[in-house]
Structure 1
Amino acid sequence: MEIVDEKKPKTTISGSYGYGWQQMKKNFLYFFLILLIVGIAESPASLARESELDNSAIRMLLQVLSATYALLILPVFTYGGNLLYLRGIRNEEIDFSELFVGFREKYVNIVLANLLKFAIVGIGLVFLIIPGIILLCRLAFVSLLVMDKDLDPIAAIEKSWQMTRGHGWRIFGMALLAVPLFIAGLICFLVGAVVAVMWISAAFTALYHAIDLEEKKLLEG
């Protein structure tokens, strides 16, 4: 599914959402299938958390299994999904086998990076909400860096912090804009919500792509 090169994304909120929309339309069925597979992968953890079994022992066991699944299995699907979104944003071929590449090649890095990011953001949210939000924005690219640049967890954290320098407020603004977009999608029933989620994911991936292109241009210059 190689597509001729078109205009590059810009490191702005409107530019990221605009380019994300453009690429989402081109790759709509691919992005929809990615969302569907990742959503199915998330369902076991969700069902266990929402279980209303009266047996407290069974409920506790389900919660432990849910937490284990969320920490050790689910990140592989979400990180793989992020990589496939990046393929679409870059006009590269989307190979669905890459959705599971984490189980074969990058499993330890994916799990550790996810745990490290969760711990860092969690600590920030526990002590003060604002630092947690800042950390969440600055570490937004960790999953893409692990999958795209094959970085180890610490290097991915450091690189995301460096890449998002000067873009923190932009990422926060994109996250705020995502809220009314999703609500508008819900108003348009389930189909609209699905499109909104795909668009939001594509927009954040487009911002990563735009910043990455800028860095490459600086290095080449």
Structure 2
Amino acid sequence: MDFTVGSAIRFGWETFKTRPWFFVGATVIMGIAYLVLGTLTTAIDTTTGGSAEEPTLLGTIVNIGLSTLINMGVTAFFLAAHHNPQGVEFSALWHPRPFWKFLGASILVGLTIGIGFLLLIVPGVIALLFFIFTTFIVIDRELGPIEAMKESMRITKGYRWPLLGFILVVALLMLAGALALLVGLLVAVPVTTLAFVHVYRVLSAKAGQIPPRVQDATLAP
């Protein structure tokens, strides 16, 4: 199987259709989690002398810690959903390991891409294409941050132009979902994220990836 933008989006859509209300429900849970996180950190900042514009150290630490846990759960959920959409449950959204590896990878990738965008944008785009699957790899194979970044570079080699096209299409779909009174995001988010996981799986297989370690065995029928 080769990677094309159309095949990836089609996979996301067909998988979404197997359990549409389940995936919509999961997306709602994710949205509520992020909303609660924002409300909580704003409350912490306000009560400790800061504000949303000037967050406090405590609020920042809480935000980083909880957002990392949420992002880990979202990543693990969609990895599991790709493997077994009929068997995955909402409980897959709780996946707190490996916390420090995921946090370290998120920080390193964010800094690398951010610095790249400061250097006239193009280096940032290149860094994004290099490290796009880093956090997937951390959850999927529990590699450390540097190892996961190297692995992301390895599996995306030779496919960076198609990946750029894929990212642009995903951005357009998300924009369309947002314009549809935000309700469209309940479909756009799971479809595009499932498509992302599909691309990761296809490119990993073509690069000769070791079989995934997380949850696939327990979710198999």
Normalised to the residue count of structure 1, the TM-score between the two structures is: 0.80
Runs of 4+ in 1 over 6 A off after TM superposition: 48-51, 53-56
Query: What is the match of residue 4 of structure 1?
Result: none
Q: How does 1:111-150 map to 2 (within 5 A)?
A: 111-150=103-142
Query: What is the match of residue 86 of structure 1?
Result: 79
Distance 2:139 2:47 in 1: 41
Q: Which amino acid is 1:173 matched to?
A: G
Q: How does 1:109-188 map to 2 (within 5 A)?
A: 109-188=101-180
Structure 1, residues 9-42: CA drift from partner, whole Å, max 9, x if none? 6411111111111111113233323322322222
Query: What is the match of residue 194 of structure 2?
Result: 202
- How many residues get paired? 208
Q: Sort the Cα spacing of 1:217 and 1:180 in 2 relative to 1 into closer, same or farther, 3 A.
A: closer
Q: Sort the Cα spacing of 1:49 and 1:118 in 2 relative to 1 into closer, same or farther, 3 A.
A: same
Q: Sort the Cα spacing of 1:133 and 1:217 in 2 relative to 1 into closer, same or farther, 3 A.
A: closer
Give the number of the structure whose residues are more often helix, by fraction. 1
Q: CA deviation at 1:47?
A: 4.5
Structure 1, residues 50-109: CA drift from partner, whole Å, max 9, x if none? 89x99993317745444323422212211221221122222263143332221xx31111
Query: What is the match of residue 93 of structure 2?
Result: 99
Distance 2:100 2:191 in 1: 29
- SS in structure 1 at match of 2:184: helix
Gaps of 5+ in 1: 1-8
Distance 1:130 1:82 in 2: 27
Q: CA deviation at 1:134?
A: 1.3
Distance 1:90 1:196 in 2: 19
Q: Which amino acid is 2:160 matched to?
A: G
Q: Does 1:34 align with 2:26?
A: yes
> Contact between 1:71 and 1:115, CA under 8 Å: does it hold in 2?
no
Q: CA deviation at 1:192?
A: 1.7
Gaps of 5+ in 2: 212-221
Distance 1:44 1:190 in 2: 18
Distance 1:110 1:217 in 2: 19
Distance 2:40 2:143 in 1: 32
Normalised to the residue count of structure 2, the TM-score between the two structures is: 0.80
Q: Which moved more, 1:133-142 or 1:22-31?
A: 22-31
Q: CA deviation at 1:175?
A: 1.5
Q: Sort the Cα spacing of 1:72 and 1:50 in 2 relative to 1 into closer, same or farther, 3 A.
A: closer
Structure 1, residues 143-175: CA drift from partner, whole Å, max 9, x if none? 110111111111111101111111212221112
Query: What is the match of residue 193 of structure 1?
Result: 185
> Contact between 1:20 and 1:202, CA under 8 Å: does it hold in 2?
yes
Q: Which amino acid is 1:215 matched to?
A: A
Q: Percent identity, aligned pairs only?
A: 25
Q: Which moved more, 1:88-97 or 1:156-165?
A: 88-97
